[in-house]
Amino acid sequence: MPSETTRPLAETRTITVKGQRLRVAIRNGDGTRTPLLLMNGIGVNLEVLQPFVDALDPAIEVIRFDVPGTGGSPAPRIPYSFSMHAWLLTQMLDQSGYQQVDVLGISWGGALAQQFAFQYPRRCRRLILVSTGTGALMVPGRPSALAKLATPRRYHDPAYMERIAGEIYGGKMRTRPELAHEFAQTAHLGSVLGYFYQMLGGVGWTSIPWLRKLQQPTLILHGNDDPLVPLVNAKIMHRLIPHSELYIFHDGHLGLATSARELAQIVDQFLTAPVSS
């Protein structure tokens, strides 16, 4: 992990793509690696992934963005489907000069990452899916945890977020209250409308019919204590995606932040490994 003095800094900018403003943060690399595009969970601003970005090899250029309606990106006029979100991202990449990227998606962003890889296979070199599933056709999480996810209250009320973090996110959030406090202070909702638009965009979506068609080398990362997306979903995706590998870590839904160093090493090994013939 790079030290505080050598850690690359990200430049944050606002890009207007087909009338939609997107807040984008780009951490420059050394030009030798394929850029890594990160896709975040529902209602979550790009800063939440900072621990993971800091733990990555500084040679990797990292692109983050606030989904429309989240963080610094205003809500769209109408709800975007996953296919529309994927199209918007290709336009953002074109405007920013990126031809091909590696893609990592977590939770809701993992569904978007699957859609992007399927819809634009030449733009996605390798795919990383974290704490995610196959959409409408998946094994659901615990009802009590999903019920709390149905509204964005946790983003408006940091004290409430700290109280429920262990129940809905599992893993280290259950036993380390300082992690829940840090997450509550970092996560900021863009708008309530944007949150519900993200939820609407995923209604009825599933990747089950076409997961077998994905040709990218794929790494699936999943915690063994995830109340929102049970581990069995990762095992299902591993069976369906042809060139995939599964890594199970001892943490919860937000392991990408709370186990950042461990998972950054696994991701880096995957991104630099030779492709099996």
Domains and CATH numbers, the chain: 10-139+189-272 (3.40.50.1820)
Residue 228: the pLDDT is 97
Q: Is the pLDDT of residue 26 over 80?
A: yes
| C-alpha distances in Å from residue 186, one per residue of 51, 148, 273 | 11, 19, 33
d(CA 13, CA 15): 6
Give the residue carrying structure tokens 């634009």.
120
Q: Is 276 a catalytic residue?
A: no
Residue 195: the pLDDT is 94
Edge-first strand order for the sheet with 20-27 is 10-17, 20-27, 62-65, 36-39, 101-106, 124-130, 218-223, 244-249
Inter-residue contact 217 to 225 (CB < 8 Å): no
Q: Is the pLDDT of residue 1 over 80?
A: no
Q: From 221, 228, 226, 225, select the one nearest 244 (Cα to Cα).
A: 221
Q: Strand pairing partners for 101?
A: 124
**Catalytic one among 3, 96, 107, 276?**
107
Residue 277: the pLDDT is 56
d(CA 158, CA 187): 9
pLDDT, average across residues 265-275: 95
Q: Is the pLDDT of residue 6 over 80?
A: no
| CA 183-264-233 angle, 5° bins | 75
Query: What's the predicted TM-score (pTM) here?
Result: 0.95
Residue 9: the pLDDT is 80
207-257 pLDDT, tens digit per residue, is 999 999 999 999 999 999 999 999 999 999 999 999 999 999 999 999 999
| C-alpha distances in Å from residue 74, one per residue of 12, 68, 172 | 15, 6, 32
The C-alpha torsion from 104 through 21 and 88 to 53, rounded to 10°, is: -10
Inter-residue contact 61 to 36 (CB < 8 Å): yes
Q: Is the pLDDT of residue 93 over 90?
A: yes
Give the residue carrying structure tokens 């840090």.
182
Inter-residue contact 138 to 111 (CB < 8 Å): no
For the chain, the average pLDDT equals 94
Residue 188: the pLDDT is 85
Work out the widest C-alpha separation in the chain, in whole angstroms: 51
d(CA 187, CA 107): 15
pLDDT, average across residues 181-199: 92
Helix (H, G, I), strand (E, B) or coil at 86: helix
Q: From 265, 252, 256, 263, select the one nearest 48 (Cα to Cα).
A: 256
Give the residue carrying structure tokens 């006029």.
77
d(CA 233, CA 143): 16
145-188 pLDDT, tens digit per residue, is 999 999 999 998 999 999 999 999 999 999 999 999 999 999 98
Question: Which spans in 97-218 are helix H?
Answer: 108-119, 143-149, 153-156, 158-169, 177-186, 192-201
- Residue 275 confidence class, pLDDT cut points 50, 70, 90: confident
Residue 190: the pLDDT is 86
